[in-house]
Amino acid sequence: MYTSMFGPGCDPRGRIPPVQPQISGIKARMQTHSLISYPMVKDSTDVLIIGAGPAGLMAALVLSMMKVKVRLLDRRLPHEVSGQADGIQPRMIEIWESLGIGRELRDRSEHVHRMVTYKPRADGTGIQLASQMDNISVQSARYQFEILARIDIIEQILEERLKAEGVIVEHSVVPISLDIKNKPEDPYPVKVKVAQLNPQVLNDQNISQEARGNPESFDGLVDNFHNISVKFVIGCDGGKSWTRKQLNIAMEGNQTDLDWGVMDFTPRTNFPTPRAKNIIQSPLAGALGYLPRPNGAARVYVMLGEGQAERVVPRSEAIKIVAEKLRRGFAPYEMEAEDVTWCSIFRASQRVAKCFSGYGRIFIAGDACHTHSPKAGQGANAAMSDTFNLAWKLGYVVHQHAKQDILETYEQERRPHSLELIELDRKIFRLFGGQTVTPEEYTNLWHEQIMFASGIGTRYTSLFIDTSGQSLAPGLLIGERIPSLEVVRTEDWRPLNLHDICLFNGKFRLFILPGSILNSNTVARLAELLPKFNTARLPAGILDSYIIIDADNAVVVESHAAALILNEGYHDRIFFGQNAGSRSLYATFEVAGVGVVFLVRPDNHVSAIVPFDEAGVCKIAHYFSSWISPQ
């Protein structure tokens, strides 16, 4: 029997008994009210995802693209919104592009290139321009801007792409109980009971999303129960995660002591920079953050101090409080809020789950395992990055390509990122909590943290990362995502970004950089080594190989060298390392010696660099043998 290092409540022994079913109330009602009868449906699937926000949709999409059977449940009615995350950072734009949905996201969103800061006027009567700069100052980012899009648009794009893979979100469904019996003879060891809720009752009684978690409290709400037998569960069910509670996983951290207001609205204003990200320190209203949104709309965050979030503030009152801060904070400019679509007063929690899984089969992601403020625009990005990281690994395990213990690398890679995110959030809060904060202090912090905040600097360390060959190509960082660089396909001289070569298909990519193919020694080494790199003992369909030669497209490849490569099946997979006159990819990566080979994971993170020689062949074979499931 497989035993995870992560048991319930993070007990490393994993010996706590399975959680008892949480349906005693329903059972009692069924026993005392004999007229109540609920139909029971039984079913099975590979992966059950609870929660169809951005994290759950991302998990379902990646798994379905890898031909894994998946079901995606959500307690919401169709088109009902939960959460308001709207910022998409450059790395996540790259991920969406790799999934085939990047263009639609870019077409239906606001692109934020500019950041402007305002400081108090000397006479204390309002604000004045302090500085302006690029919002995203990361030259290695393919998309050097931040995207702002409504959460319903983000979810709609993901849902439509998911439908193309044959997966439909199952709405108005809530989990009731969970049980697990990790027996080798049972291919579906996790049993989840769920309730299908009646949409008409939900509408008629105006039952809140949170209250739907206790459907037995409402007469006629349950249409039927389903027993779903699954191999794995992913809980993407928010900060009050039902899944996390079933595993008794604690959240570590605390709640902030500052209240903030947030409002989405259409501005009526003479403010000079309404289509930029604006960071404002007002002598009349304190700190404000202003973000442009699609179709001329905007979002504003205002600091309120202490005391407001300790009570439930009605929407109408919240709008008055935030709108007044808005008017005062933008003086001497006019700033009036029209067409308010959302307004809330909140006090953020800054917490991270003690662990991200239980029993080796049940995982949590997104807000279920880390909660923070929206100040850094990281919520949806962190959530989708969690499940993008987890889902392809689950795909390998479900297809029996990999040993189950690779799933432990999900927490190894994503929990440190969550802790770093919370630390960034705390720095922002400490900054805005001071009475003498300047806009320059915020911009300094933003640009100090931009590699992390943009996602471009995310660097993983785990079983899946072998850093021993870093000195072979110091300019290519092992653990980071493959750089956004252009190469030229030899057969038609078509320029292609490395990211477009590595569109997501669930496969590893092996890039062979042999050096100059005009060198006879290089050709001889290719003839000897290429078949060996191509015949690694791997499950079929998990590795694609490419060759990048150290030349530009002004060079004619000798016929005998071209024939060698074509005979190995590389017809459209050989590239020049540069356009004529441009900087060589070899120079950018600082390739040393007689060539290198680098391996890229399905999520486009560089996992190993080895020499282009017999030792390199052995190192690649060893890398895979450490986790590949015996065939």
DSSP per position, 140-159: T-SS-SEEE--HHHHHHHHH
Q: Is 484 helix (H, G, I), strand (E, B) or coil?
A: coil
Task: Tell me whether residue 507 is exposed, middle or buried, using C-beta atoms within 10 angstroms of its C-beta: 0 to 12, 13 to 18, 19 or more.
Answer: middle
Pair 361, 6: CB distance under 8 Å = no
In angstroms, the CA 169 to CA 614 distance is 49
pLDDT in tens, 358-414: 999 999 999 999 998 877 778 899 999 999 999 999 999 999 999 999 999 999 999
pLDDT in tens, 584-602: 899 999 997 789 999 999 9
- The pLDDT of residue 12: 36
Question: What letters, b where the CB count within 10 A reaches 16 and e where it falls short, cover 153-191?
Answer: ebbbbbbebbeeeebebebbbbbbbbebebeeeeebbbb
> Looking at 53-57, 121-125, 563-567, 584-588, which range is the least confident one?
563-567
- The pLDDT of residue 40: 53
What lies within 8 Å, CB to CB, of 200 at 6+ separation is none
User: Averaged over 299-326, what is the pLDDT?
Assistant: 84
User: How many Cα atoms sit within 13 Å of 132 on the Cβ side?
Assistant: 12
User: Averaged over 182-203, what is the pLDDT?
Assistant: 91
Residue 598 structure tokens: 């680098």
User: Averaged over 512-538, what is the pLDDT?
Assistant: 81
- What is the pLDDT confidence band of residue 183, given thresholds at 50, 70 and 90? confident
User: Averaged over 283-305, what is the pLDDT?
Assistant: 92
In angstroms, the CA 169 to CA 191 distance is 20
The phi and psi torsions of 464 (rounded to 5 degrees) equal: -80, 0
- Give the gyration radius of the chain's Cα atoms: 27
Residue 310 structure tokens: 């300790």
- What is the pLDDT confidence band of residue 308, given thresholds at 50, 70 and 90? low
- The pLDDT of residue 305: 74
Q: Across the strands, what pairs with 512?
A: 547, 597
What lies within 8 Å, CB to CB, of 594 at 6+ separation is 515, 521, 522, 525, 611, 612, 613
With a cut of 80, say whether residue 33 has pLDDT above it.
no
In angstroms, the CA 365 to CA 384 distance is 8
Q: Is 179 helix (H, G, I), strand (E, B) or coil?
A: strand
> Looking at 159-173, 250-264, 323-337, which range is the least confident one?
250-264
With a cut of 70, say whether residue 38 has pLDDT above it.
no
> Looking at 52-66, 136-150, 523-537, 540-554, which range is the least confident one?
523-537
- What is the pLDDT confidence band of residue 21, given thresholds at 50, 70 and 90? very low
User: Averaged over 445-456, what is the pLDDT?
Assistant: 90
Conformation bin of residue 166: beta by default, left when phi > 0, alpha when psi is -120 to 50? left
- The pLDDT of residue 582: 72
- The pLDDT of residue 2: 33
- The pLDDT of residue 382: 96
More confident site: 313 or 51: 51
User: Averaged over 237-262, what is the pLDDT?
Assistant: 93
In angstroms, the CA 16 to CA 397 distance is 24
- The pLDDT of residue 349: 87
pLDDT in tens, 534-561: 766 677 789 999 999 887 766 655 554 5
Pair 93, 108: CB distance under 8 Å = no
User: Averaged over 512-518, what is the pLDDT?
Assistant: 86
Pair 61, 68: CB distance under 8 Å = no
User: Averaged over 268-291, what is the pLDDT?
Assistant: 95
- Average pLDDT value over all residues in the chain: 87
- The pLDDT of residue 312: 74
